[in-house]
Structure 1
Amino acid sequence: MKLTHQWLSIVEGCLLVALGLHLLNASGLLISGTAGLGMILGKLTGLSFGLLFFLLNIPFYYLAWRALGKTFTLRTFAAISLLSLLSQWFEHSIHMAIHPILAAVLGGLLTGFGLIILFRHNASLGGLNILAVYLERRFDIHASRTTLVADIMILIAAFLVLDSTALAFSLLAFLCLSSVVGRYHRPPKWAQVGEVNRT
């Protein structure tokens, strides 16, 4: 029963994130992290976000296995795969016109709450967050520094594909996501006691 609850929660988290990212994509906006990098590459290459997001995360699975254990890695792989499929589905099935400010706020909030659900069930959407945790454990580089540097680089890259208005709305989405994660994220029990679940 507990396992069923955990996997249902992961599905729900992925649905929220997929919807949030779809709102942002539909309005030509970006978000932080690996998803933001996927959005930028999508604009530059014409490839779908779902495919790019899945491919971008492949190199990080080894780091996740080393730093966070098998259970976390498998759940993260499942979450990334599901999000990629949902993103593809939403892109072809949901067509909407939404004001960029509303897209930024709703997209940022939905993505943030989806991530919180995943974090609380020992999963993530991989990518730069895994790299940040790995560098912290391996080289004692605080995870927030890695995340900050990565987000700044993504923001700089965003100048290649966004005008100043879209960039400002994307920053609003960044802030909404960060606000949700900052206020609601609680480290899982295994992190609180300094142990990684490797079962």
Structure 2
Amino acid sequence: MDQYKTKFVVVYLIAAIITAACLLMNGPMRPGLPLDNTVIMRMEFIAKNLVLWQWSWIAWMFSALGLLVFSVILADELKADFRKHVGLLLVALGVAPDLIAEVIYAFVLPKVVHLAMGESVFLLFEHIATHLTGYLGNGLYNLGGLTLTCLAIKQGIFKTWVSVWGITAWILGLLLSVSIAAGQLKAAEIFTASSMTLSTLWMIIFAHQVLRPRWNTQS
């Protein structure tokens, strides 16, 4: 299969995984998140829906790895430049705290509930996980994505509207990190929804605007 066709298919697969993870977060797994509920309610939900809870977070783990793969595909279209490596490094660094947070959510929190370690221990691990993924991991992802996108714009890879779309998505993602740091979970929910929607759609746009034309050229 042509390399650009392969990349095109991979980007669609990544977008599908991220979309599925977002739908799970906004739907079935929402009662286990610190939104419109109490810690007791969250603990009870996790205990009663353990399989759903854990597999939902596994979907987010694949999403984290998918974002890294997408960043590699994006960087592969850029000319040699040290900023390309900086952008990729930032995204790669974001994977570690994100995966650690998702492991805490998926496996540590259920263990805390199962062993009846108490609300304070649950809240502590939940707080750590929230900041690892929402502040540190997400912040690094978006700084890296913004760096790669700005470099792509400088090299003339994107049309103007594609550039604006991408920059907007990454900035909204950074605002999510700011919201988490400030403890504004309602604002974080809004920025999560908006940034994830725009960035996932932007991946598809990238596939059609950059990869598909090159695939057609080589076919």
TM bucket (normalised to shorter chain) is 0.3 to 0.5
Q: Highest Rg: 1 or 2?
A: 2
Higher helix residue share: 2
Q: TM-score, normalised by structure 2?
A: 0.33
What TM-score does the superposition give when structure 1 sets the normalisation length? 0.36
